[in-house]
Structure formats: structure tokens, C-alpha cells
Chains A and B, each alone.
Chain A
Amino acid sequence: MKYIEYADILENTEIENTIYRMTLVCPKIAKEAKAGQFVELYTGIGECLLPRPISINEIDAKNGRITIIYQTVGKGTQYFSTLKNNLKIMGSCGNGFSIDQNIKKSIVVGGGIGIPPLVELCKNIKGDIEIFLGAKTKPILIEKLSEFGKVYVSSDDGSYGFKGNVVELIESVKPEGEIIYSCGPKIMLRELSKWAEKNKIKAQVSLEERMACGIGACVGCAVKVKKDGDWQNLKVCKDGPVFMSDEVIWDD
């Protein structure tokens, strides 16, 4: 069940340059939310008619709260960064990660602003976790994710950790694991998918696409997925955002 709530904002602070963390009171959404899902944020301003899909960073069902981490990239997110009191949100949307509790060793991979949902994911994984984070410069949430396992870090410009992208970092470390969970830019997920296939490890990838409704009605956020020797367009908002990497057709 999805809900619309007028959430009180407990916190809305800039944690890195242009990146904000917001904690929202939304008991109904928090109660049903799971790792890898997202919420739709409504601006209420005419100029930004469509809600903004933002991944859930952490869920505190007991206290009825969720935390999101977002980057100010346009008018909508810029507007969210100015808010102090409350915000209209809908959720929780999408399928989320499918976490197998019997797996003993998981590999978690995040890129850029795709890193936040990995926190709630890691909280729910039993067994060992190795975490790989990449970004243009220093990735966010390194310290937080260190609570769950060993963190390897890369930056495109070499300003922090391994110089290169996160898939090159993984190739250099050659981790072993039974499953990969990942979220990041599509190009990173595509390369990761190739690495996973080569190393015969199943990978869950959390995709993003431009969307309008967030609930599967408008069919705006299509992703090509294999189907019986053919392919079909599935919806990132409803069938995803998490897909198995070997099912996705990774064209540009």
C-alpha cells in the first residue's frame, strides 16, 4: 500500500557540498518501506509539476521516520534544500532489493548519489559484506558504511582512494561473493554488470530513469528487459528500480 503523508522535517542539512540529508516523519510510509525503495517528493510549486523520486537512505519504522540524501541538481531539489517545516511525500515506491538472508558473503557497490540506499540495504544483510564506493571526487557515506563491512573507495580524479572508477577498483581488488547489490549511474551499473557476468556472480542493480507518476501509471520510465528470447519495456518505478543485471539490456 502506498500513502501520501505531509511529513514533518526533523533535519534538512547540507552534509557535503550540494548534498543534503533530510529526516522526515511519515509513520505509514516508514512502517512499510524497505531497502532499495524510493519516495516521491512534491514541490507544490507550479514550475515543478512532477514529483521527484529520491531513494530511501535509512528507515526507522519504530519512530516512524525515514531519511533521504539528495543532491541539489535542479529547481526541485534546490527548493527542497530550503525547506524547514514539512513536505508532501508519497511512498514507498518500487520493489527494493531482494535480500537473501542465507548468503554468507555479499558485495555492495555504490556510485555517486547512488550510494545512500546502500545504508538501509547493509543494515538488512546478514553475513559478511565488502563495500565498494566510487564518485567523481570523494564518495559520500564512507564512514557510515564502514559500520557494516570493509569499504574500498575510488575517485575519478584520484583525490581520494583508488584513482579510477569503482568497477576498475573492483577489478583490482577481485572480491569474492555470492551476490552483488548495487546502485549508481547507469554507465557504472552497465560496466559492473559485465564484471559480474565475467565472474559469474549474480548482481542486483538499482536503476534510475526520468519518471512522472512513480506508481506505474504513466509508463514514462521504461527500461529494456529480456523476455523469452525477445525483450520488453518494464517500468523502473514499479517493476524496479532493482533489476537483475543479466536481465537488463544495456544499450545507450
Chain B
Amino acid sequence: MINTSVDICGIKFKNPVTTASGTFGSGREFADFVDLNRLGAITVKGVASRPWKGNNSPRIAEVYGGMLNSVGLQNPGAEYFIKNDIPFLKQFDTKIIVNICGHSIEEYCEAAEMLSEADVDLFELNISCPNVSQGGITFGTEPKMAEKVVSSVKKYSKKPLIVKLTPNVTDITEIARAAVSGGADGISLINTLLGMKIDIKKRKSVLANKVGGFSGPAIKPVAVRMVYQVANAVNVPIIGMGGILNYEDALEFIMAGASAVAVGTANFNNPYATVDIIDGIENFMLENNIKDINDIRGIIG
């Protein structure tokens, strides 16, 4: 028998695999392909206190080794989410992580308060989206602001609070420490890298928003490095993500110090990606005589 279960802020995941917010909808969209019961947790698309319309199209650009997006956190709002998505998700034996977004501290707090009454397991505070002009990333690049937003939301949050960090900073450990001192129960990283693609025939940016978040396998080395640095800087569980395509990638994050991993862009390339990765991790453990996934967490030292 092998143990693949992990503890994330007091919540037990049956395995370390979840989804990256914004790439898996609310799970429903992938239910034709993935047995959602298999997932350690489902991290849903960002939810705000009220509906957000998002950015103009085009919002997607494919680039070498990944893609850019500038969706701008379009979402139907917490009320809709609580009424429509949670009952769906509760049918499955998996944990629910709600990604929370906002334009201001007040909006983050409002969303956290609304969702605290809902039957979900964890919050992931999105202070790192590069595609919204207010809030989002601005809270994730200034350590003092990060600490302030986390400590404010913490007051309204009745669920363990994971804080999602942006890689678009000089020193990722500084922000991670600030989030933890603000009361973060866990850290997830990395959100997308800010990127751009230009259509040389049209002489303009492919994305209507001009810039967008770069995700996909090309960003993985940056993500693994940052997870490693943060794992050595703070003492809370980490959900690692950024370019994970297969189980080997997932194991790199775990060996770098992540307790769990999130699969994002890979879901577009292969709708079975999450389950393939779960199977792959189990097989790797069996083949390499690893009895407990927690034994290899942060093993690179």
C-alpha cells in the first residue's frame, strides 16, 4: 500500500493533484472526460463578490511552449457560484478550493464573507492576476499590500486561506513571507508570467488587452525554482503549479517542496491530464518503492 494523501492546511486530499484556477471551469466542463472523484481537489475559476464581464476578445494567443490569456477574471459572481456550482461539485468525493478575486480589499473581504457560509473546503486568494487593472496583481507585488489584504480577508474567512502568488516580482520569498505574516495558511504559486505576442502582419498585439498571462510548459523551470525558494522561506503548505504537463513535472514540484500540485494549461492540451498525472505519480511511487508521497516532498533539500 502506498499513501498518496496529503494534508493542506488541515484538509486531507486523497492525492496531491488539483486543478489550476481558470483552466477547469467549475469542474462541470470536464466531467465528460474526467471522473472528478479521482481528483485530490478541484480549484474552481476565480469568483468575485459580484459578476465580472472580463476583457475584450481576442483573449487567447498560442505561443511557443504555451499560451497567453487575458480573460480578465470573467465570472458570474459569488451568488451564482454558490447556487449553481457548489451543488454540482458536492456530488463528488473531492475537496473544493474556491479562488477568490477582487478589485479592492473590500471586494476580497466581501467575497470571502459570502463564500464562508458555503460548503467548500479552502479559499485561494488571487492577488496575482495580471489581467485586471485594479486589484489582482497590484496586491501581489508589494509585500506590505500583500500582508494587508491577507490579514483583512483572514478576518472574514472561515476557511483555511491559501494565497496565490505572482511570479512577476523581484523576490518571491519576500511576498511569500508577507502573505504568511498576514495570516496565510498556505501558499500557491506561480500564477502566469506577464507576456505579449505581436501579429507582425497586422502590426498589433494579438490580445485585445495587449498583454496577458503566459502559461504552459515553457514556464515550468521558473515555477519549480520559485516553489523551491518559497518552500525554504516559509513554513506553510505549498501548492505548486506552472507548466505541469505530466507526472514527471508534478513530481519535480513535489521534490522542490510543494505538498500538492495544480494542473492548468495541460487540461486544454489533454482533457485527461489530471487523471493521467495521478496514475503516473502512483506508478512512479510503486516502481521506486516510495511508500508515502510526503516522504519525497522537498527531498532535494
**Which A positions have Cβ atoms within 8 angstroms of B?**
1-4, 42, 46-51, 90, 209-223, 231-233, 238
Instruction: Please give the residue numbers on chain B whose beta carbons come within 8 Å of chain A beta carbons, in ascending order.
Output: 22-25, 29-30, 32-33, 45, 53-62, 64-67, 69, 71, 74, 206, 216-217, 265, 267-272
How far apart are the CA atoms of A46 and B59 in the complex, in Å?
A: 21
- Known pairs A4-B33, A220-B69, A233-B53. 10 more at Cβ < 8 A? A4-B271, A49-B67, A213-B268, A215-B25, A217-B24, A217-B25, A218-B268, A219-B59, A222-B74, A223-B57
CB proximity of A167 to chain B, nearest CB, Å: 22
**Which residues of chain A are within 8 angstroms of B267 by Cβ–Cβ distance?**
213, 217
Question: How far is it, in angstroms, between the C-alpha of A131 and the C-alpha of B33 when the chains are bound?
Answer: 38
Tell me if B62 and A220 are in contact (CB < 8 A).
no
Inter-subunit contact B57/A219 (CB<8 Å):
no
A12 to B55, CA, bound (A): 38
Are A211 and B60 in contact, with the CB atoms below 8 A? yes
User: How far is A219 from B69 in the complex, measured between Cα atoms in Å?
Assistant: 10
Q: Which residues from B are CB-within-8-Å of A3?
A: 32
- List 20 A-B residue pairs with CB atoms under 8 Å apart, sorted by A's residue number: A2-B32, A2-B33, A3-B32, A42-B269, A49-B62, A49-B65, A49-B67, A209-B58, A212-B268, A213-B29, A213-B267, A214-B268, A215-B29, A216-B25, A216-B29, A218-B60, A222-B56, A232-B53, A233-B74, A238-B29
Q: Which of B33, B60, B67, B269 contacts A221 (CB 8 A)?
A: B60
A-B pairs with lowest CB-CB distance, top 4:
A217-B25, A220-B60, A217-B29, A210-B60
With both chains docked as a complex, state the minimum distance between the C-beta of A88 and any C-beta of chain B, in angstroms.
Answer: 9
A123 CB to nearest chain B CB (Å): 26
Instruction: State the majority secondary structure of interface residues on B.
Output: loop
Which of A1, A51, A213 neighbours the largest number of chain B CB atoms within 10 Å of its CB? A213
> Which residue of the partner chain, among B23, B33, B64, B206, contacts A218 with CB atoms under 8 Å?
B23
Write the nearest CB–CB distance from A39 to chain B, whole angstroms: 13
Contacts of A210 in B (CB 8 A): 57-61, 206
Decide if A50 touches B62 in the complex (CB within 8 Å).
Answer: yes
> In the bound complex, what is the Cα–Cα distance between A218 and B22 (angstroms)?
6
B70 to chain A, nearest CB (A): 9
Q: Is the CB of B29 within 8 A of A4?
A: no
Pairwise interchain contact B59-A49, C-beta atoms closer than 8 A = no
A237 and chain B: residue at smallest CB distance:
B29
Contact (Cβ within 8 A) B265 A220: no
Give chain B residues whose Cβ lies under 8 Å from the Cβ of A233.
53-54, 74
**Which of chain A's residues have a CB closer than 8 A to the CB of B57?**
209-210, 221-223
Is B58's CB under 8 angstroms from A49's CB?
Answer: no
A212 B30 Cβ-Cβ under 8 A: no
Residue of A nearest to B54 (CB): A233
Instruction: Determine how close the nearest CB of chain A comes to the CB of B74; give it in whole angstroms.
Output: 5
Asked if A220 contacts B23 (CB within 8 A), the reply is no
Cross-chain contact of B217 among A2, A4, A49 (Cβ < 8 A): A49
B71 near A220 with CB under 8 A, answer yes
Chain B residues within 8 Å of A238, by CB: 29
Contact partners of A209 in chain B: CB under 8 A: 57-58
Taking the nearest CB of chain A, how far is it from the CB of B223, in angstroms?
Answer: 16
In the complex, which of the residues B30, B59, B206 contacts A217, with contact meaning CB atoms closer than 8 Å? B30
For B26, give the chain A residue with the smallest CB separation.
A217
Q: Let me know if A217 and B32 touch, CB within 8 A.
A: no
A219 — which chain B residues lie within 8 A by C-beta?
Answer: 22, 45, 54, 59, 71, 74
Residues of A within 8 A of B25 (CB): 215-218
Residues of B within 8 A of A223 (CB): 57
B272 CB contact (under 8 Å) in A4, A47, A216: A4
* Nearest chain B residue, comparing its CB with the CB of A52: B62
Q: Which residues of A sit under 8 angstroms from B64, Cβ to Cβ?
A: 47
Determine the distance from Cα of A130 to Cα of B74 in the docked complex, in whole angstroms.
40
